[in-house]
Structures are given as structure tokens and as C-alpha cells.
Chains A and B, each alone.
Chain A
């Protein structure tokens, strides 16, 4: 993620804190697709994903005055909010519907073809793809179960039939691998 883009993002956050609605609009235009793609990957339902997307950007707008740049880039902040809200959504749906089966978002990706990204986004997407390809399969599985399905380490251990300590190690090592391979992008 280039420095110019990051600088612009921080300025948008500052403007949002001053209640500049155009800044929210610009920030949304910039990152709605990556956030929506993440949310949809998690919740599976387009209707729910759009609701969560709306809530995530609204939370960014509401909390823009409290954004701390030392906590990471605005895009990482947005995606953390989006992921948290998406997980909350599927947990809420599970409570409402009494579902206990594992949520399989990949099997229901919802409508809409993939669309071309900007150059920066394409480059980031390529780097992430390569980082995941070099990630050991067991680490990737544990990370995806935690990140995309909101499962805790004990739930993952139970689902995979693995010792808890093994799962924790895999998550930690997977995270360190991602950080090492993608440091220049965040």
C-alpha cells in the first residue's frame, strides 16, 4: 500500500472527524469493494453483507475522531471493523436460526462476478495470494477458520481433532508468516 494512498486515507479520516460527508464518500468509494468482498466471504448473504458494509463504514464515520494512526493504517482499521461486524452478524444469525453446522461461505459466494481492481489493489491482491501459497496448509486452514468463520482456538482444535496447543502454534506461526510476507503492504 503506497505511502501517498496512506497519507490520503489519514486525511480523509481527519475530515470525517470534522463531519465532512464528502470524506466519508471518498473513503467509501476507495474501499467499499475490498470491505464488501471480505464481509460477503464471511456472511455469505448479499443482503446481510450490504447491511454489515453500511454499518462498518458508519462506525468508521462515528469513530473517526478516535482513530489512532499508531494503531495501523486506515484500511487495516476499516477491515478490522468490517470483519468484527461480519462475525457478529453470523453469530447473531446462528442464534436466531439455531444453526450449529459450520458456516460454509465459500459454497454460497452470492451473485456478482469479480470486477477488475485498481493497480494498487491488484498488486496487493497478488501479494496476498503469493503469501497464502507459501503458507503451510495447516496454518492456512487454522487462520481461515479463525478469521473468516470467527472460530476460537478451542473450537478449531475440536473441529480438526487437533491438540489445543498445536492449533495455537499454527495460528501464531501463520500470523508471523503473513506479517513477514506482507509487511510492505500495511
Chain B
């Protein structure tokens, strides 16, 4: 809308615009009024007031820019005249400042993310290692027991030989008589199917065999068992391993797999 005459209110608006004192939204709207409406009243007032306020530049202390500014300006104008691409030095400098600042910020975020992820992975690894340590401590305790048993002068060693088709199998019992324990080791005894089990027997000098342990071997044919020798078992003549139905029986029924005399 074009105004017909200058009012105090219009003059105030022109003053605020010329001084740069309008808010951004006001400035945009007023600039649109000047450019699109081509309001002669407001344009005339703004032109005069802008010329007046621009004189404030002469109130600033007089300073001289470095000669390089003029040289860059000349070069830029020559490049434009000759059709070469024109690059704004200031824009380039600010671009690189912004780029470096942005890159630094992005790098910091990436590092923080990587550190956080690494910390999470490290914590997971620590948990795994702690679990493994606990497992190894149990195994170490067991091995200490085994070593103590094996090296004790009160330990008897009983060798068991493979029987029947299990000629390659062998077993060994370390009998700690003071502690009434058997440490039983088996090698190269083929694992049985799910419906069968191996069973180790105390074979007394007199009376029926007494079940010691029901077991199966690993895929490599090995087995290790720690067995308490019952109080009632005193005089033994043999140790035997038989093949039985899964879960074992109260008395041996199947063929010998291993046998050793005591």
C-alpha cells in the first residue's frame, strides 16, 4: 500500500529502518513495502535518513586496511572481466573456519562415540575375563587336589586295560586311601550312544560289585571323575568298567570295557 503523506508514525518507522533498529520481521516487512509497494513517501524519507545516519561512519576512529584488500579486489575484478571464476577470499576464509570448527566438533563426537563404544566393549571383555578367571580358579583348585593326590605316598595306582573291542582304551585310578577317594582317568574309550552308559565298579574281595560312578566319555574318548570310596568298601580285588543301559544298573550286566586288578 502506498502512503499519501508522511505521518509521525511513518517517520518513526522510516527512522527505525534507516538506523537498523527494527526487528528482523519488521525489517523484512518494511523492505517489502519499499520494494514492492514502491511507496514514494516512505522511500524518500528512508533515503534521506539513511544518508544522514551513514554519516555516523565519520565518527569512528580513522583506520586504514592493509594493501592486500585492494590487491584482492583488483584481482577479483580482473578475473571477472576475463571470465575466470571468482572466489570470495572472505567467504573462503570463513568457510574454512566454519569447516574446521565443524570438523573438530564432528571429530569430537566421533571420538566420544568411539570411546564410549570402546568402553562398553572393554566392560564386556572384563566381564568375560572375570568369568574365565573364576572358572580357572575352580579348575586350579581341582588340579591342586589332583596333584596332592597324585604325589601323596598313600596313593595307590591301579591301571585298567581295554577289554573286547576296546583294546586301545586304558584307564588309571589314583586311590587315595587316607582320604578314601578315587581319581579316575580314561583314555580312548569310544563314547556310547544316548541309550547306554559306562559304569565303574568297586569289585570287592568278597561280595557283589558296588557301583562307583556312571559316566560317558567325551568325543575324544576321555573321562575324568573324582569318586568317594564308600566306608563299606574295604578290601578290593579289582576295578571294572562295563557297558550298561543309560543311567546304569545296581549290578553289572554288560560286557567289560576296562578291567584292572588291585
Q: Which residues of A approach B to under 8 Å, CB–CB?
A: 19, 21, 24-25, 28-29, 32-38, 40-41, 47, 49-55, 57-58, 61, 70-73, 75-76, 79-80, 82-84, 87, 92, 96, 109-110, 112, 114-115, 117, 121, 124-125, 127-129, 131-132, 142-144, 146-148, 150-154, 156, 168-169, 171-172, 174-176, 178-179, 182-183, 185-186
Contacts and interface: CB of A to CB of B under 8 A. Distances in A.
Interface residues of A: mostly helix, strand, loop or mixed? helix
A168 B59 CA distance: 22
Given A175-B15, A175-B19, A25 B70 contact: yes
Interface residues of B, number: 52
Interface in B210-248: none
22 contacts: A21-B81, A24-B77, A25-B70, A29-B70, A32-B64, A34-B58, A38-B57, A47-B93, A54-B89, A54-B90, A71-B43, A72-B54, A73-B51, A83-B57, A112-B64, A114-B62, A127-B58, A146-B21, A147-B53, A148-B56, A175-B49, A179-B49
Contacts of B78: 21
**Most A CB atoms within 10 A — which of B43, B57, B61?**
B57
Contacts of B11: 172, 176
Contacts, number: 189
B81 A128 contact: no
A147 B20 contact: yes
Given A19-B81, A131-B55, A175-B53, 4 more contacts: A38-B60, A76-B50, A175-B49, A179-B49
Contact of A32 (B69, B90, B93): B69
Nearest to A151: B21
B37 interface: no
B94 interface: yes
A41 B59 CA distance: 9
A142 B19 CA distance: 10
Nearest to A167: B21
Contacts of B93: 47, 51
A118 B56 CA distance: 17
Question: Of A117, A156, A175, which is in contact with the most chain B CB atoms at under 10 Å from its CB?
Answer: A175
A115 B62 contact: yes
A96 B50 contact: no
Contacts of B63: 33, 36-37, 40, 109-110, 112, 114-115
Sorted nearest first, the 4 A-B pairs with minimum C-beta distance are A51-B90, A38-B57, A41-B60, A146-B21
B88 A58 contact: yes
B20 A150 contact: yes
Contact of B66 (A50, A114, A117, A168): A50
B139 interface: no
